């Protein structure tokens, strides 16, 4: 017996594969929203994260201006 995915289990429980996909999409979107809120909280409360993001932005801008290759 092969393990079933959450979407397959929900489809059987609900009776409609498309409805199960919608429910799965809602869960995924909720997870991304929750992660975004956590990232926003970290940006506002963690000074070192702001420094790291600033440094990364400087490096990316310098690489673009100096026409660095990806290799």
* pLDDT tops 60 at residue 19: yes
> What pLDDT, in 10s, does the model give residues 24-69?
888 999 999 999 999 999 999 999 999 999 999 999 999 999 999 8
* pLDDT tops 70 at residue 7: no
In Å, how far from its chain's centre is CA 62? 26
What pLDDT is recorded for position 14?
A: 62
Residue ranges per structural domain of the chain: 6-65
| Run of H or E residues at 1 | none
At residue 4, φ and ψ (nearest 5 deg) are -100, 150
Q: How far apart are CA 42 and CA 5, in angstroms?
A: 33
Q: How far apart are CA 35 and CA 43, in angstroms?
A: 12
The dihedral through the CA atoms of 19, 22, 24, 26 has a sign that is negative
């Amino acid at each position: 017996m092969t393990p079933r995915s959450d979407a397959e289990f929900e489809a059987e429980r609900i009776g409609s594969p498309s409805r199960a996909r919608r429910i799965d999409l809602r869960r995924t979107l909720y997870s991304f929203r929750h992660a975004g809120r956590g990232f926003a909280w970290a940006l506002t409360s963690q000074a070192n994260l702001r420094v790291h993001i600033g440094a990364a932005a400087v490096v990316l801008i310098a690489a673009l201006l100096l026409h660095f290759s990806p290799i």
